[in-house]
Amino acid sequence: MGVVEMVLKHPEELPALVKLKLAAMQATRYVPPEPHWAFCYNMLQKVSRSFAIVIQQLGPELRNAVCAFYLVLRGLDTVEDDMAVPIDTKVPILKAFHEHIYDPSWHFVCGEKHYKILMTEFHHVSTAFLTLAKGYQDVIKEMTERMGNGMAKFIEQEVESIVDYDEYCHYVAGLVGLGLTRLFYAAGLEDFALDVLSNSMGLFLQKTNIIRDYLEDINEIPAPRMFWPREIWSKYGNALEVFKEENRSREAVQCLNDMITNALKHAPDCLEYMSALRDPTIFRFCAIPQIMAIGTLALCYNNINVFRGVVKIRRGLTAKIMDGTRTMADVYAAFDDFSAILEAKIDKDDPSAALTQKYIDEIHAKCEARFLSDSRRKAFSIQSKTGHEICLVLAILILTFIMIIIVWR
């Protein structure tokens, strides 16, 4: 959907789009004077623009620690993802990555595009890491070591069971949630007790990405790397590849819905985690990705297009989420809205329907227990609103704003 078409169908998202563009511009202008930090923040813009926006809202000390943590793990992930790197080379690097971050002379050329630049000039990340307080360094080192060893384990091991699936997601994402929580604690801003729930925060995001990226991952060259557990997909087909076939749409969607149901079980823990956060900037940093995840699951549920092309939340809705997430009431409203959208698509004949409904009911109960008012409901919409009769004046106003956005580029 083009920008003009999107705004015409969802004019209520225009203000948020403009604000998001301004926030992106502001994040782009933030370039620290030190060469190593300048590289890190410029690279952050390249590998995760939306993350760069929310990280800018953190306090300076924590912002630097989170930036370095993210880029260290992005480097680790780049090594894992590069299928051109031989396994006997890759595994030792993954296991020793936590040591390499202390060596400003170390680098390893792999990956593509921006990721290749990150790895080629990784000495900037190491230099930035070494300027952090020891408390931050210790957290990053521990999580990098645990993640590297976990990735190495699953290089040659298939994700067979749901237990394997949860373990893999723990290594690549649950540890991110745990590491961030400990960075928040090291900064003196949050409670250490949040450790207990932090794994679910990571698993909810990672499972959403694994589900959404089915087609991209299965078409990976030279060989696909898939993390859908056999315990789930084998109920619907004899190989993951068959879900791409036109005549297997019913089985594909049922498998997809089962995968989404598995992800939904983590949502109540995520709501508990976010409700316990005290710092407003940390809250937004954590809450926005979680709302994006529940919105993505609602969009993907019962959607055969996951196996046909790219399925993702439109930019206008992303902007609305980023602009409208300020308090826990906003999070409850969003989770309640998106859960209701997903719930409306449940087919009672779907094999996982009963369990899906159970998890949706748990989410609704968490939200409604906070006395969410009806006036806050239905703030989000995934589908385009048809039947809009937009007057000429409004159309001109919208197009004017779009021209402003284009000029700002």
Tell me the three state secondary structure of residue 110: coil
Rounded (5°) CA angle 350-269-160: 55
In the DSSP assignment, the letter for residue 157 is S
Is 285 annotated in the active site? yes
- Specify whether the CB–CB gap between 349 and 306 falls below 8 A: no
- If you ran DSSP here, which 8-state letter would residue 173 be given? I
Both tokens of residue 94?
């993954």
CB atoms within 10 A of CB 92: 12
Does 74 qualify as catalytic in the annotation? no
Q: Which of 70, 122, 184, 285 is catalytic?
A: 285
Whether 220 and 265 have beta carbons less than 8 Å apart is answered as no
Q: If DSSP codes are grouped into helix, strand and coil, which group holds residue 265?
A: coil
Provide CB contacts within 8 A for 115, sequence distance 6+.
47, 74, 78
| 314 is a catalytic site residue | no
Scored b (16 or more CB within 10 A) or e, 181-199 reads bbbbbbbebbeeebeebbb
From 49, 102, 192, 225, active-site residue: 225
Q: Which of 74, 182, 212, 284 is catalytic?
A: 212
Instruction: Determine the Cα–Cα distance for residues 316 and 397; give it in Å rounded to an integer.
Output: 16
Structure tokens at 408: 């700002």
Contact (Cβ atoms closer than 8 angstroms) between residue 356 and residue 334: no
| CA–CA distance, 124 with 107 (Å, rounded to integer) | 10
| Residues marked as catalytic | 168, 212, 225, 285
